[in-house]
Amino acid sequence: MVKPSPANRKPKQNSASKPASAAANALELLKTEHQAVAELFDEFESADSDEQQALAEQICQQLTLHAQIEEEILYPAAKNVLDGEDVELVNEAAVEHATVKDLIAKIEAMDAEDEPYKATVKVLSEYVKHHVDEEENELFPLLEGTDLDLESMGAELVGRKQELMTQLGSDEDLDEGDALDGEQDEDESAVAAATAQSAAKSASKSKPSSRKSP
Ligand SMILES: [Fe+2]
Ligand SMILES: [Fe+2]
């Protein structure tokens, strides 16, 4: 007896939603954030005073979140896998973050009309450029040579950032009413779902044994 052809039968797959594509690599994700802030600094340069304050606020907020997730997740993990002088790179990066935060605090305490406002944003921009340069050209290449699971770290960074943004957002939403709230919740759950999926994917991949010598 011949069974009916399965030609029309599709394999059971989640066709409803796109599969979460490759999990975000932590370092690629952080580089994307570096690029986004660099673009905001460029915009700041050519903006008028009204726009400048909003742009500077955005820059400060993004840098604050970025620094926090690096300090909570990337730097401790980096210290675990690096040794000797390489650990000093991480310590230097953390010290540089402290300076970035000082500059951010100064900018946030000022008004765009204040005389040193632009100069302070400019100094922040140059300082961040220097810091990013060290991360991307010294620290990140070192980490790529270790057995750090950069994909599950990517998921962790995204998840933590969402959490922090939700905290920030819920403060701001108090002023803005409920309309945006629902939209934001949807976005957040989509990102959270993708993040969880990515993390699960990464966890299920069996990794080849460590490339780093003890
Ligand atoms: Fe950093
Ligand atoms: Fe960074």
Residue 164 lies in a domain: yes
pLDDT in the model for residue 172: 67
pLDDT in the model for residue 67: 98
Distance between CA atoms of residues 214 and 208, nearest Å: 16
In the reported structure, the alpha carbon of residue 46 is separated from the centroid of ligand 1 by a whole-number distance in angstroms of 25
Domain membership of residue 61 as a residue range: 23-203
120 neighbors 186 (Cβ within 8 angstroms): no
pLDDT in the model for residue 22: 56
| Both tokens assigned to 167 | 């905290």
Residue 47 lies in a domain: yes
Sign of torsion over alpha carbons 135, 141, 146, 152: positive
Predicted TM-score (pTM) of the model is 0.72
Question: For the chain, which ranges sit under pLDDT 70?
Answer: 1-23, 171-214
Residue 195 lies in a domain: yes
Which bound ligand lies closest to the C-alpha atom of 97? 1
Domain count of the fold of the chain:
1
pLDDT in the model for residue 8: 41
In the reported structure, the alpha carbon of residue 132 is separated from the centroid of ligand 1 by a whole-number distance in angstroms of 7
In the reported structure, the alpha carbon of residue 144 is separated from the centroid of ligand 2 by a whole-number distance in angstroms of 15
Residue 212 lies in a domain: no
CATH code for the domain of 165: 1.20.120
| Both tokens assigned to 180 | 């945006």
Residue 1 lies in a domain: no
Distance between CA atoms of residues 81 and 213, nearest Å: 10
Query: Residue 174's Cα: distance from chain center in Å?
Result: 25
